[in-house]
Every structure is written in structure tokens, then in C-alpha cells.
Amino acid sequence: MLALGKLLELTLAGREPAEKIQLTQAGARLHWLAEGALEITPAAGDDNGFDLLLSAGIHGNETAPIELLDKLLQSIASGQLQPRARVLLLLGNPPAMRRGERFIDQDINRLFNGRHADASGYEALRACELERLAANFFSQPGRTRLHYDMHTAIRGSQIEQFALYPYSPERLHSPQELARLQAAGITAVLLQSKVGITFSSYTYASLDAEAFTLELGKARPFGQNQEVNLQQLEGHLHSLIEGTEAPLQSLTLDALQLFQVAREVIKHSDAFRLYLPADVENFSELPLGYLLAEDIAGTRWVIDEPGARIIFPNPKVKNGLRAGLLVVPVNAA
């Protein structure tokens, strides 16, 4: 197999490859761009006009999607998978991956859409570099652009595999992309209602790509992801890369649960208190009248939305950041 097919091995070892460009037997080009960044170009005459950005490891301890990208790349490098789409693989936070930690100094997935300009340290520099790599990749006009930023969650979830669909005031959420998510094994989608500061929010709002954050199960160390079933997603990604995806128009969205953000829970100070069990699962439903959190100046979050559920509760975030999301179900229409 080609040496560049071992991107994960190179990244975990902190090594730069001797050859930056290699060709597969069928003529697809692998191009090492930077640490953890590899661009794949189809052989001459095979390009179908589809640009697919796949990122993982934005949080270094979320290993199941990192291992999935490694499998896909090895299949391409060995000639088992013949790409017709252009593909950019990004391993987001290599130093955190090497340590098996979520991040080094700060959460890189809160530093996009220019937020890195107000920060310092490795993650700020890396967020800037990831934006540049994505912008260069999606710079060719007239092509279909899709970005899946793949994660696993800190905690368990009552809905194991779900997606977050970013927001831009100039764009509508696409039923075709929702059908594509359902075909990938995603069972719920959170429709966001304001421009965010995550990687997928950047590519959606700034680069005109369809983009999603995919949550694919619970975070575990490398080699311990047997309980994270990504077979349907893997098959879906194969079809996108090979250009063999089934028509989406025939798919209904009946099996897809849709939610929208009702409120963000922002931690303002060290006095912040979140009144949930430490092991509460994502999408746990909260009763009307429940006191969810309190903070300085008498700030209180009391549940007044029927059917409200909590996702991403984390009282340990830095002051000024989101400590949880309250979401409510919506109709597919």
C-alpha cells in the first residue's frame, strides 16, 4: 500500500512523509498538504464534479470516526476503492490525538468563523489552518460541495447517531441532504437557528458547502470502538466517493426525527450550576417547570417548552461558552 495511505500512522507518530504526492495503481492522486491533511484527486477522466470534505479528530479523544477515515483512505490507497469525487481528509487536532485528550488548551470547535483571531495558542492556529485548507479545497466553481465533520460525544445519548445542520440567513435547509443523512444511518437532525462557531458552521456559512456535524456514539480510546456501529455510514461514504449513490428523490423523511434549538444555556461565571445528573444522556426529556441551571445576577433557566430535551450539557466549559442546548421536536414539513 502507498505510504500516504498511512496518514493516521504518520499523524500519531508526528512524522512528515518523504513523498508528498503519490499515485494509486488506477491513477488517483494522494497529496499530503499539512499534518493530518490529505487531498485525493480522481484519475483523469473519472472526476464527477463532487467535492467531499471529511474531517474527524477535531476533538482528539473521539477516535471512532478517525478510525473510519483511516479505513477509507487505506481502501483508496490499496486500490480497493476507486474515487470519482475529490476528497479532502482532515484530522483536526493531531497533538490532542497523540495525547488521547479532547484538546490541548481550548476547544478548537469553538474557534471557527473567525473566532480564532481573538484567541491564541495551538488550537487557534490550527483552526485558522483548517479554514484555509477547507477554503482552498472548496474554491473550484460549479462543483457540488459537502462536508461531514465527524465526532463522538462525551456522554451517552438516547439517540445515538444524530447530526447538527448549521444555519445561514441566506440559505434553506435541504430536504435532499436530510435524505442523504438518513441513508447514512443518521436518525435525528438538529436544525440550528443561528450562525455558529464550529467547523461545519464555517464551511456552511462561508464556503457555500452543505455541511453537518455528525455525532456517532460515545467517545472511546483507539481500538475500543467495537460498540460504535458505523457500517451504514461507511457504506454511504463509499458510495459518495465512488459516485454510486442511489437516487435520493425516492426517499421519504418519515424515519428521521427533526429538532430545533429552543435555547442555549450559556455559562456566564464560576457560580454557574447545572442541575442534572453527571451521567445524564443527550436528548433526555425535561419536565415543564424544571429548574435546569442558575448563574450570577439571578439568572435562571426554567423549562417552559413542551417536549424540551437537553443535549451537550457540560458545566465545565469556560465562562462565556455554551453549557448545553435545549431542543424541541419539529415536523419535517
Strands 144-153 and 210-218: parallel
Contacts of 159 (CB under 8 A, 6+ apart): 187, 188, 257, 282, 283
264 class by beta-carbon count within 10 Å (0-12 exposed, 13-18 middle, 19+ buried): middle
C-alpha 316: how far from its chain's center? Answer: 21
Which residues, including other chains, have CB under 8 Å from residue 100's CB and lie 6 or more apart? 60, 61, 221, 222
Burial 39-52 (b: 16+ CB within 10 A, else e): bbbbbeebbeebbb
C-alpha cell at 172: 434553506
The CA distance from 162 to 259, in Å, is: 10
Is 281 assigned a catalytic role? no
Task: Read off the C-alpha cell for 326.
Answer: 435545549
CA dist., res. 101 & res. 298, Å (int): 35
DSSP state for residue 205 in the 8-state scheme: H
In angstroms, how far is the first alpha carbon of the chain from the final one?
48
* Eight-class DSSP state of 134: H
**Out of 67, 215, 234, 305, which one is annotated catalytic?**
215
User: How far is the CA of 332 from the CAs of 90, 178, 233, in angstroms?
Assistant: 32, 10, 22
Residue numbers annotated as active site: 215
